Amino acid sequence: MSGPKLREVSVKLPQKRERPDEPWHHYLTVDLIWYVLGYTLFHPFVSCVLVLCLRAQYTPWHAPEMRVAIAWAMLMTAVGIFGVFSDRVAYGRPREVDLSEEVIVITGGVEGLGGLLAETYGMRNANVAVLDTKKVDYDEAEEKGVLYYECDVSNAKQVEAVAAEIVEDLGPPTILINNAGIVHTKSILDSTAEEVELTFRTNTLSHFTTLRTFLPYMLRERRGTIVTVSSVLGHLGAANLSSYAASKAALLALHHSLRAELAQIPDADEIKTILVTPGQMSTKMFGNVKTPSNFLAPVISPAEVAKDILKLIEKGESGEVAVPLYARYAQVLGVLPVGVQKIVRSLSGVDTAIAKAGLAKKEASEKQ
């Protein structure tokens, strides 16, 4: 069966002057090295090919290099097989996904990561509904192939009203991407009660609202995918980002609770869940924040995160998206000795980044 027909859109390519000139080593990161190793030395197929290459050179089976190559190939194969079985045990069988039969709801989908996801699906003629407080004119929405609904996701009544419109316009939602978020770059003492409440209403409580609103449709359809966009700061916390980090940390518990509840519902076997915990992205939210090490903690583009999200959604799988590499292992920091934790935090600059960027006492909030 052929996939959905691609929508033709006009694209303005960036001019050379719009892209900063960076030295070659700027693009050399631990993530790139890990990616290359994953498709070479650490890949089961490549490891087995190495054994065949040695044998083609008439290397004796008892030779040390042959024994090492065979042992390495067996180890990599075992690790690969274990990973497949581990994912199957944790997430079950993937569901079939046909974009022409899916209705995709994206919160905070006008700009940033959500905007990129919405436009990508719009170009592929998928049924996309975006919930955002920002307005998009009709011509722009028509060009992108996306339906935009002006909605404050922190307001339960607005979400419920928009949900009825989406069902009438597109059909019952089957893919929910909870992406909306705001940040107040203030210390705990400088934060007002209203700012903290708004952060939690938008970043956390909105997820409860959208789940209560859209999950029943997925249960009736007996299929669906729910994407929870959290942050690596949910594992770490950070100075001058207390309300943001706390609201994102709550999403980690919400995701695991959601998975536990879905496992107890017979009709939820085909409802998949995806947890997204990215590091710093090159969006407006943290645009002026500098990474302490571009090699170990590179700033990633929304496209890198969106690529992994799209892959899991369209393969019909549950899973986790954590990029760059350090985001996968950030939670390990909590099991290290407290002295080591302090040293790592100091070297990472996580607690001084906002102050150094001059954002610590910024009054206005910026939306994703």
pLDDT of amino acid 288: 78
Query: What is the number of H-type helices and E-type strands within the chain?
Result: 14, 9
Cα Rg of the chain (Å, integer)? 23
C-alpha 122/C-alpha 144 separation (Å) is 6
Q: Which residues pair with 321 in a beta bridge?
A: 276
The list of the chain residues with pLDDT below 50 reads 13-14, 16-18, 362, 364-368
pLDDT of amino acid 66: 96
C-alpha closest to that of 126 among 95, 103, 97: 103
Consecutive H or E run containing 162? helix 156-169
C-alpha dihedral, 153 to 157 to 160 to 161, nearest 10°: -110
Q: Which residues pair with 366 in a beta bridge?
A: 183
